[in-house]
Amino acid sequence: MSQAPFQKFTAKKKNSVVKEEYRQEKKKIRADKNAYFDNLKEEKYQAMLAKRALKAGGMAKTALVPASVTKAAAPAPKSTTPELTTEVVMPLNKFLAHCGVCSRRDAIALIADGKVKVNNAVMTEPGYKVQPTDEVIYNTKKLFVTKNLVYILLNKPKDYITTTEDPQGRRTVLQLIQKATDERVYPIGRLDRNTSGVLLLTNDGDLTQKLSHPSYEIKKIYEVKLDKNLSKTDFDKIVTGLTLEDGPIAVDSLAYADTKDKSIIGIEIHSGRNRIVRRIFEFLGYDVKGLDRVMYAGLTKKNVERSKWRYLSDKEIRVLKYMNETKKKKAVREITNPNAELTPEIEIKTITKAVDSPADKAPAKKKTDFVREPKVKQARKFKTHSEKKEFLKNQAKTKK
């Protein structure tokens, strides 16, 4: 017997119960999704460790070859050529950055302290050109240029220090990416302990130098939460520019992130000065309650939860490496040659033009101005389209 007629007597679930069930189901799906990607990262990490263990152990290739073949084949002679330290001659501080020891700026301090040896002699000159045959030792280990470059985007949470080591024992951002790589990576730029958001970590020294250099004008977008609403006068002051204790500062863009709540501000800036966003608002008498970096160099934290990370794609790496190249070239051109003179090719062209067109040559005749005749409106032959159709039909008959 059908139960359809009795459905009206059964108690229906409340809307709140249905919504809660849907919410719990959605939460479970999200947790399963995160667990899947965490397992995937763990598998990749274990595969990477196994691969490196194979390389370190030096597994013999002859184990996979049959015994009959190995007896016939003569043993290959071992190569006596030493492994090159670097393929390209470069300064010592740049070499340390490429080896993943630290950034170029920190490398200068290490070299000055006498912690780096070149060919068993302490080297204190950061500009020393490292040759491919040189032996560079730091911390009792021989260094080689890192060929396995790693690029990681981290959604940094609060209460983490943006540094490789902390003498006070506080938590660092490197603890969040322990499973990402075995290579020694370091952060590009800095985020305060109480600042969250996008942070890049890599062992690519050239990219770190580029993104940190002010001439490339790498843009950053922050979401700022203030203790009170930002007034219109202070809004205009920030847009026009302020003069802080370390010089003038101007923002690229400023807007209210929420039209109803004017204490949440979106700010775009390319300056890399220390705590610059906080100091802008503190200068006007505001207290910054929260600061989150939403975008850095065109990269966002989309689909990356707080304290999680992901690898950059090949396309994103290419974009970063060639970002704002025109600005850098223009800046270098203005600094090196502000009053550029004519090149020999341009001078030759101007001379040839002067020879081809001497002053005593008869001036060319001026062209007379062309005057367009006004169009005369003609009377329409046919009032309607059907008349025209009949006319063409009759004309075709007469031709036949």
**Mind telling me the catalytic residues?**
192
> In whole angstroms, what is the distance from residue 270 CA to residue 288 CA?
19
What are φ and ψ of residue 347, in 5° steps? -65, -40
Largest pairwise CA distance in the chain:
116
Amino acid making up residue 360 = D
> In whole angstroms, what is the distance from residue 330 CA to residue 340 CA?
13
The vertex-157 CA angle with 285 and 235, nearest 5°, equals: 25
Length of the chain: 400
The four Cα atoms 82, 85, 86, 92 give a dihedral, to 10 degrees, of: -150
Residue 191 CA neighbour count, 13 Å, CB half: 30
CB neighbourhood size of 157 (10 A): 15
